[in-house]
Amino acid sequence: MGSPMITIIVISMIVLLLLGFPMMVPLLVASLMFLFLVIDMNNVGLLMGQMISGVQSWALAAVPLFIFAADLMTRGHTANRLLDLVQSFVGHLRGGLPITTAASCTLFGAVSGSTQATVVAMGGPMRPKLLEKGYSDSFSIALIINASDIALLIPPSIGMIIYGVVSGASIGDLFIAGILPGLLILLMFSVYCWYASIRMGIAPEERATWIMRGRALKKALLPLGFPLVVVGGIYGGIFSPTEAAAIAVLYAFVLEVVILRAVKVSELWDVALSTGLITAVVFILVAAGNAFTYTISFAGIPQAILGPVIETIGDSQTLVLALIAVSFFIGCMFVDPIVVILILTPLFKPAVAAAGLDPVHVGVIVTLQAAIGSATPPFGCDIFTAMAIFRRPYFDVIRGTLPFILILLAATVVLIMFPAISLWLPSLAA
């Protein structure tokens, strides 16, 4: 297999990352090095073909559409309206303000499908409120970052789209399967916020009147219609996930531009440009990831590394899921979750099939690890988003994350032990 050559390739990737190159560059360089040095195949055209095939799936058309809809919602009034609604109903509880933050992140996740968009939209208004109430900065930032992870489970989810394309699992079923696990994590976060508020001695907010709740609900009705249209349409078989993405853009445009007038027509070019830049990064990562996966699979590296482990654990569903969870969690701590999903998902396909696991349930576990990884040191992308938004140094941002990461890992264990949490809703739609 050429162990010295593989070592050189790995070191080259690490050096490129340390020099500040984006992830796509080490992936492409490593793919070329594998092609020429390990496989001994001087055919760059083959690699180009793999890159093109990686982005040919029609399902990927949903990615830029959901990103565009999220950008429109982030610039508009949706985030504040959802926040006001949640606060009016739970703000008076012990720990009501952090619970409001977690629930608002969940609701906005159902609108945006992006952890980073949720950090931006919810972090701005909620962090000052939490600090004013007496919560520590480390707790406030950690809560916002980790509660935003729920956005990756609640549909629409970019991570689930990528997993569905790579694994062949139904994206519609994945969307629906993520709802209950997302709500479970919200409940676990809420319990911890309640406990933390008691420990910090922070009194609850004043109870909102039913008139105030009615006003907040009235203002939030149209934003709440977004997840209902998307999930309800897919659940009811009215349209596919890709068609749902197009409907999402139309809904966001009518809501923010026409009805609320929070986004001007003249601003749409800037929104489209932002969407285009993010989409380009995602698609280049998908293409580069597909090429890298092909070359290392052709070289037999995954089989050599994972083969003995998979043979040892046999067809035990629990052990296979545990191995998948650990592998994706460690991978997402260091590398962009999209890249990890692209590389590792095909490698675990034989083990998933041998153990008789439902690919949809596996997708929920994988997406959850991607969510945890996006907020876990050293290189979680939400950490760096928070550094930019809150203008805080790295160690200040990560200081309070440990309790929330432990909660997310506990949720992983619960989902592994009780797959019905993920599969119940898809079974109803079948």
Q: Model confidence over 329-379: pLDDT tens digits?
A: 888 777 778 778 888 888 888 888 888 899 999 999 999 998 888 788 776
A 10 A CB-CB count for 22 gives: 14
Digit-coded pLDDT (tens) for 390-419: 888 888 888 888 999 999 999 999 999 999
The beta-strand segments (E) located in 133-190 are none
Q: Say which residue, 159 or 23, is predicted with more confidence.
A: 159
Query: How is the chain split into domains, by residue range?
Result: 43-429
pLDDT at residue 269 is higher than 60? yes
Distance of alpha carbon 208 from alpha carbon 352, whole angstroms: 49
d(Cα 29, Cα 146) in Å, to the nearest integer?
33
Please report, as a single letter, which amino acid is at residue 59: A
pLDDT value of residue 430: 61
What pLDDT does residue 411 have?
95
What are 40-60's pLDDT values in tens digits?
A: 777 777 778 888 887 887 777
> Average pLDDT for residues 224-228, to the nearest whole number?
81
Q: Which tokens in the block code for residue 329? A: 């969690």
pLDDT per residue over 156-209, tens digit each? 788 888 899 888 898 889 989 999 999 999 999 999 999 999 988 888 878 888
Residue 390 has a CB neighbour count (10 Å cut-off) of 19
Question: HEC profile for 227-250?
Answer: HHHHHHHHHCCCCCHHHHHHHHHH
Q: CA–CA separation, 345 vs 342, rounded Å?
A: 6
Mean pLDDT of the chain: 83
User: CB neighbours (10 Å) of residue 369?
Assistant: 30
Q: What pLDDT is recorded for position 113?
A: 67
Higher pLDDT, 64 or 236: 64
DSSP for residue 376: S
Lowest mean pLDDT segment, chosen from 129-138, 236-245, 269-278, 396-405:
236-245
pLDDT value at 86 more than 70: yes
Sorted by sequence, the CB contacts under 8 Å of residue 13 that are 6+ apart come out as 26, 27, 29, 30
Measured distance CA(117)–CA(71) in Å, rounded: 8
Give the mean pLDDT of 72-96: 82
Q: Write a three-state SS string for 45-112.
A: HHHHHHHHHHCCCHHHHHHHHHHHHHHHHHHCCHHHHHHHHHHHHHCCCCCHHHHHHHHHHHHHHHHH
Given a cut of 70, whether residue 29 has pLDDT beyond it is: yes
- The per-residue DSSP string of 325-349 comes to HHHHHHHHHHS-HHHHHHHHHHHHH
Q: Determine how many CB atoms are found less than 10 A away from the CB of residue 127.
A: 21
For residues 168 and 170, give the distance between their C-alpha atoms in angstroms, rounded to a whole number.
7
Q: What is the pLDDT of residues 106-120, one digit of tens each?
A: 887 777 667 777 777
Gap between the Cα atoms of 243 and 238, Å rounded: 9
| pLDDT value for 1 | 47
> How many CA atoms are closer than 13 Å to the CA of 158, on its beta-carbon side?
29
